[in-house]
Amino acid sequence: MLHGGGVSYRGVEPTVRVVAQKYHVILVAYDGFNPSEPETEFVSVQNEAKRLGDYLVENFGGHIDILYGISYGGRVLTEVLADERLHITTTIADGISLKDYPNIKSRLGKELYCFFFTGLFYVVMADPGPLRTKFLCKVTGRRLEEANRLLYRRATWKSWKNQDYCLIGKKTDYSVFERTDMHLWYGIKGSVDKKLSANLKKLKEQGYPFRYKIFTELGHGGLAGEQPERFLEEMIKAHEGR
């Protein structure tokens, strides 16, 4: 399980406890956003994917049944799928953005983009007070309890910046969907997933192999964050091809 950007893995801990009754679960904690290792800093999506791939090859022969990523975790997920050492039966990208970062060539341009784009999220999410936390709940369609659990307040500006910097100018290779049974999920109760899924129809028309589900009563990542039993049920359906 791959958590979202700018937050910690703690957001899905209740779900992990339920899923772990049936599956062996590997809950990834990104550098820079790991409460257990606050001294680390996030380097890049590619670095996280490479380290996870190495771990899976060393400990599981590169074979896993289900790969799940939520939000920014979908970015890591596509990099993991591109690792030819790995064999992944089912993959679920929950709330993945279907829009690439701008293709900025100059270093100054990238720095300016991160200053404004990353800076906005940093101000809102890095150490939010009550009002900003409530705002996040509104736009994501999530409960206050869940928001307080997943928000991570010890990440550095460098970790926040690197999340976006490493993806500027990088075009998502959707052909990796062919290497697995691919599923896209969106909870559109809030406004976030409505924007993230805007190119869903276009992607389908391009012929990439995937199935998708829209959860109108759930917010961004709400299935994994707030409904553990239902998450397990939907995950099993996806793994069984239903």
Residue 204 belongs to some domain of the structure: yes
- What does the DSSP assignment read for 175-211? GGGGGSEEEEEEE-SSSHHHHHTTTHHHHHHTT---E
Range of the domain at 48: 9-239
Residue 205 belongs to some domain of the structure: yes
- CB burial class (10 A; 0-12, 13-18, 19+) of residue 80? buried
- pLDDT of amino acid 162: 98
pTM score > 0.85 for this model? yes
Residue 1 belongs to some domain of the structure: no
Query: 63-70 and 211-215 as β-strands: parallel, antiparallel, unpaired?
Result: unpaired
CA separation, residue 29 to residues 25, 58, 67, 207 (Å): 13, 18, 14, 33
Q: Is 8 helix (H, G, I), strand (E, B) or coil?
A: coil
Residue 2 belongs to some domain of the structure: no
User: How is residue 106 annotated by DSSP?
Assistant: S
- pLDDT of amino acid 53: 98
CA distance 15 to 199: 29
Q: Could you give the angle at the alpha carbon of 57 between the alpha carbons of 51 and 60, nearest 5°?
A: 120
Identify the CA nearest to 48 among candidates 79, 25, 70, 5: 79
- pLDDT of amino acid 112: 97
Containing 48, the helix (H) or strand (E) segment is helix 45-60
CA separation, residue 12 to residues 75, 78, 146, 175 (Å): 18, 20, 9, 28
Query: What tens-digit pLDDT sequence spans the chain (242 residues)?
Result: 999 999 999 989 999 999 999 999 999 999 999 999 999 999 999 999 999 999 999 999 999 999 999 999 999 999 999 999 999 999 999 999 999 999 999 999 999 999 999 999 999 888 888 888 888 888 788 788 888 888 899 999 999 999 999 999 999 999 999 999 999 999 988 888 899 999 999 999 999 999 999 999 998 898 998 899 999 999 999 999 88
Residue 4 belongs to some domain of the structure: no
- pLDDT of amino acid 128: 87
Q: Which amino acid is at 239?
A: H
Residues 158-168 have pLDDT tens digits of: 999 999 999 99
CATH code for position 108: 3.40.50.1820
Residues 3-42 have pLDDT tens digits of: 999 999 998 999 999 999 999 999 999 999 999 999 999 9
Domain count, the chain: 1
Q: Which amino acid is at 121?
A: F
Residue 73 belongs to some domain of the structure: yes
- pLDDT of amino acid 137: 81
CA distance 188 to 198: 11
The two three-digit tokens of residue 77, written as one number: 């997920």
The two three-digit tokens of residue 26, written as one number: 């590997």
